[in-house]
Amino acid sequence: MRELTFNKKIYYIVVWIIVAIMISGLLVDNPRFGRFEFGYIAHCILVVILSVCLLIYQRKSTGLLRLIIIIVSSVFFYTLFIFYPETFSTFIFLCFIPALSILYFDSKLFYFSLLFNFVSTASIFGFIIFFEKGHIYPHIEQDLIGNFANFIASQIIIYFIFYVTNAHIKRLQLYYEQIQQTERLKTTGQLAAAVAHEIRNPLTVVGGFLQLFEQDKRFSEDQKRHCTLMIDELKTAEQVISQFLTMAKPEKEKVTETVDVKVVLQSVTDLLYSYGLIHDKSIELKVNGDCMISANTIEFKQLLINLIKNAIEASEIGDIVQVTAESEKDFVVIKVIDHGRGMSKEEVATLGTPFYSLKSKGTGLGMMICFSIVEKYKGTIDFQSSMGQGTTVMVRFPSI
Ligand code: ADP
Ligand code: MG
């Protein structure tokens, strides 16, 4: 998940203020100042490392650098706590360490930080109970249980803040992605409508002449074969355009009516029956009970044709494609089941992306159209697929 992109200027101002505070902590009224003890040297080194990391983070915001910043700042606060025991407020910093990683919106980093902090602070409490016995940290030792309870409470509060912010950010991100997808579809639709009309006519003219050449005796067999190839390619182009045009058709032409799923399924399977036969595959239809939905018949047909065609194309020679429909509570459930090549999880996730096709003659528009039709009538579409086993596409429409 991406973290918040800070305004560059504000980021540097804040970081420089933090650096200044850290340096003043080293120099101003520091009881260890000037004495070259381990604690003071460690403190100096950590200030330098942390400052450098924070300053370069804006330019090189990698996951590794985030991890380093979180670890170094945790070690820094623990160093303060351990080497400046008289400053009791350093304990407050320990409570807030996991809050730092909320800034990066990185869940893994947050859980790591939370665990790291819990283990470290628990060890410190253990040390105070068993060895130190209040000589160095009297303010903690005097009310051990109270302090520990406060620490736990602070971790819970921080977790809660993280949980709420994270959920909110995830929702926002999903929302933006959806908007982008819709926008993309809208622009492709509009563009297609304009381009399709312009391209269709020349294609028809070229196709017509090619058909004439194909039958012309003056051409050699070789040349005729080329013509057939060209005609085939033109047909594919024509298909792309038709698919696109149906998407871009004005809404007013698509009236919503009561559709008897059984009747439509029968006519679609009849239509595709010969298509399956050509490829030596058959279609089996089973409709249970009354299945009535509210949709535009042509669009609903288009949805089913696309799904069944895909199932036939994915199947092996001799396979059967099963199409079932039944009423289930408030829904009509239609399943298109094939035992063909199946899809991987990634392939299923990519379905619906314009022009995504693994077929040499595919348009990659079928699923996109299916998705938009299902969405329009407040239905759902789900895929269960495994490589080499087959695919079940389940479409649900609200029944009437
Ligand atoms: P096209 O059929 O023109 O390739 P679609 O949008 O209909 O375009 O399908 C996109 C891709 O999804 C197909 O190329 C195919 O790889 C995959 N696909 C769709 N349905 C199935 C299915 N039932 N089994 C296996 N793969 C499928
Ligand atoms: Mg298809």
pLDDT in tens, 251-264: 666 788 999 999 99
Cβ–ligand 1 contact at 343 (below 6 Å): yes
| Ligand 1 atom closest to 363 (CA) | 3
Phi-psi region of 105 (alpha: psi -120 to 50; beta: other; left: phi over 0): left
Query: Which ligand is the nearest neighbour of the Cα of 361?
Result: 1
* Pocket lining: 364 vs ligand 1, CB cutoff 6 Å: yes
Query: For ligand 1, atom 10, which residue shows the shortest CA distance?
Result: 357
Q: Which residue did the predictor score with more confidence, 359 or 242?
A: 359
Q: What is the pLDDT of residues 3-31, one digit of tens each?
A: 445 578 888 999 999 999 999 998 888 88
Q: Which ligand is nearest to the CA of 239?
A: 1
Output the CA 371–ligand 1 centroid distance in Å: 13
Q: Which atom of ligand 1 is nearest to the CA of 368?
A: 6
Shortest-distance Cα residue to atom 21 of ligand 1: 310
Question: Cα of 17 to ligand 2 centre, how many Å?
Answer: 59
The CA 207 to ligand 2 mean position distance, Å, reads: 23
| Best of 367, 391, 392 for a ligand 1 pocket test (most atoms within 8 Å of beta carbon) | 367
CA 84 to chain centre: 47
Model confidence band, residue 89 (pLDDT cutoffs 50, 70, 90)? confident
What are 133-139's contacts with CB under 8 Å, separation 24+? 136/85, 137/85, 137/88, 139/88, 139/91
Q: Is the CB of 383 under 6 A from ligand 1?
A: no
More confident residue, 249 or 115: 115
Nearest CA to ligand 1 atom 16: 358
pLDDT of residue 237: 83
Q: Which of 336, 246, 245 is nearest to 296 (CA)?
A: 246
Distance from Cα 277 to the centre of ligand 1, integer Å: 19
Judged by average pLDDT, the poorest of 149-153, 226-230, 383-387 is 226-230
Q: Which protein residue has the closest C-alpha to ligand 1 atom 7?
A: 366
Closest-approaching ligand to the CA atom of 362: 1
Of ligand 1's atoms, which has the minimum distance to the CA of residue 365?
Answer: 6
Residue 3's pLDDT is 45
Which residue's C-alpha comes closest to atom 13 of ligand 1? 357
Q: Are 65 and 72 in contact (CB under 8 A)?
A: no
3-state secondary structure 352-390: CCCCCCCCCCCCCCHHHHHHHHHHHCCCEEEEEEECCCE
Backbone angles phi, psi at 322, to 5 degrees: -100, 135
CA of 357 to the centre of ligand 1 (A): 6
Q: Region 188-216: what's the mean pLDDT?
A: 84
Question: Using CA atoms, how far apart are residues 12 and 29, in angstroms rounded to an integer?
Answer: 26
- pLDDT tens profile 182-194: 777 777 767 777 7
What pLDDT does 161 receive? 94
Residues 287-295 have a mean pLDDT of 93
What distance in Å separates the CA atoms of residue 309 and residue 391, rounded to the nearest whole number?
A: 13
Does residue 323 line the site of ligand 1, with CB under 6 A? no
- 235-264 as b/e: b if 16+ CB within 10 A: eebbebbebbeebbeeeeebeeeebebbeb
Ramachandran region, residue 32 (left: φ > 0; alpha: ψ -120 to 50; beta: rest) = alpha
Task: Calculate mean pLDDT across residues 346-360.
Answer: 87
Does the beta carbon of 356 sit less than 6 angstroms from any atom of ligand 1?
yes
How far CA 185 is from CA of 179, 304, 388, in Å, comes to: 10, 21, 31
Ligand nearest to the CA of 336: 1
What average pLDDT score do residues 310-316 get? 93
Report residue 281 CA to chain centroid gap.
36
Q: Please write the tens of the pLDDT for every residue from 315-329.
A: 999 999 999 999 998
Percent pLDDT > 70 in the chain is: 96
Residues 10 and 30: their CA atoms lie apart, in Å, by 29
In testing the pocket of ligand 1, which one of 315, 319, 357, 392 has its CB within 8 Å of the most ligand atoms?
Answer: 357
- Per-residue pLDDT at 106 exceeds 50: yes
| Torsion on CA atoms 46, 52, 55, 60, rounded to nearest 10 | -120
Mutate which of 185, 302, 310, 374 for ligand 1? The one with the most ligand atoms within 8 Å of its CB, which is: 310
Would you tell me the crossing angle of helices 144-215 and 221-248 to the nearest 10 degrees?
130
How far are the Cα atoms of 211, 228, 230, 233, 284 from residue 222, in angstroms, in the given order? 15, 10, 13, 17, 41
The answer to whether 135 touches 86, Cβ cutoff 8 Å, is no
Report strand pairing: 320-328 vs 282-288.
parallel
pLDDT in tens, 155-167: 999 999 999 998 8
CA distance 271 to 266: 9
Q: Relative to the CA of 336, which ligand 1 atom is closest?
A: 23
Ligand 1 atom nearest to CA at 338: 23
Per-residue pLDDT at 290 exceeds 60: yes
| Average pLDDT of span 213-224 | 91
Q: Could you tell me the pTM of the whole model?
A: 0.52
**Ligand 1 touching residue 315 (CB < 6 A):** no
Atom of ligand 1 nearest to the CA of 358: 14
Condensed to tens digits (0 to 9), the pLDDT of residues 48-83 reads 999 999 999 888 888 899 999 999 999 999 999 998
246 in Cβ contact with 300 (< 8 Å): no
